[in-house]
Amino acid sequence: MSGFDLTGLTASFGGERVIGPLSLKVKKGEKIALVGRSGAGKSTLIRLVYQEVKSLASLVPQDLGLVNALPVFHNVYMGRLDANPTWYNVVSLMRPFSRDSREVEDLLSELGMPEKVWIPAASLSGGQRQRVAIARALYRKSGLLLADEPVSALDGPMAHQIMGLLKARFETSVIALHDVELALAYCTRIVGIQDGHVALDELSEKLTPADIMPLY
Ligand SMILES: Nc1ncnc2c1ncn2[C@@H]1O[C@H](COP(=O)(O)OP(=O)(O)OP(=O)(O)O)[C@@H](O)[C@H]1O
């Protein structure tokens, strides 16, 4: 089951309510884009959803969550840590198994950076770091993707390629996107967030960029 139905979602910082109460029902197979101006609450909503669904989801947080001192391989491998016994993970830290190395290398090839597999994450560019976080999410092989601006550091053609890949590989997704064109092209439903509430909820096929602009 990769959909979810959450109600009564709220978040506050320093006593100030920034989300909700808000409900979000996502059906299996839906690709949702969360859109809205900076500070509207998209990242906070992604975090709230992740807290609820945790192990069912693959997460690409806005800060990416990479471990700089570790090679790309291990950063990607971390996506599936909970699927393996502890001894397997400890051995993999020192001497990765060849089947795992091959799988990670294949993923990195798809993302256009096969030569970086043994490079520490610290020495990657911003766009490369973003692709490592995406590889980690793909490696997890869950049915649900939660991603916060996953292609913001990528150039146009690469952003389209990766959005296409995410659409194909995840049955269901909720992606915060500031790029309205990408949202309409790769997502089936647009949820607009304004001041922590849902201000728009419509199928992409019924919307144009002009319909979304009032949120900004
Ligand atoms: N750790 C925090 N401490 C205090 N306030 C926070 C914190 N995180 C978020 N906020 C506040 O919550 C509100 C929503 O922030 P959030 O990051 O969810 O917005 P966003 O829509 O994702 O913005 P952006 O598009 O810039 O990433 C903002 O007013 C922000 O200042």
Residue-wise pLDDT tens digits, 108-119 = 999 999 999 999
- Predicted confidence (pLDDT) at residue 11 exceeds the cutoff of 80: yes
Pocket test for ligand 1, best of 9, 10, 13 (most atoms within 8 A of CB): 13
Banded pLDDT at 177 (limits 50, 70, 90): very high
Banded pLDDT at 163 (limits 50, 70, 90): very high
Instruction: Report the C-alpha gap between 196 and 66 in whole angstroms.
Output: 28
Does residue 39 have its Cβ closer than 6 Å to ligand 1? yes
Q: For the segment 43-82, what is each residue's pLDDT rounded down to a tens digit?
A: 999 999 999 998 899 999 999 999 999 999 999 999 999 9
Does residue 13 have its Cβ closer than 6 Å to ligand 1? yes
How many structural domains compose the chain?
A: 1
Residue owning the nearest CA to atom 1 of ligand 1:
13
Does residue 177 have its Cβ closer than 6 Å to ligand 1? no
What is the domain-level CATH number for residue 17?
Answer: 3.40.50.300
As for the ipTM of the complex, it is 0.96
Tell me the mean pLDDT in the region 17-45. 96
Residue owning the nearest CA to atom 2 of ligand 1:
13
Q: Write out the residue range of the structural domain in which residue 43 sits.
A: 4-215
Tell me the mean pLDDT in the region 172-200. 97
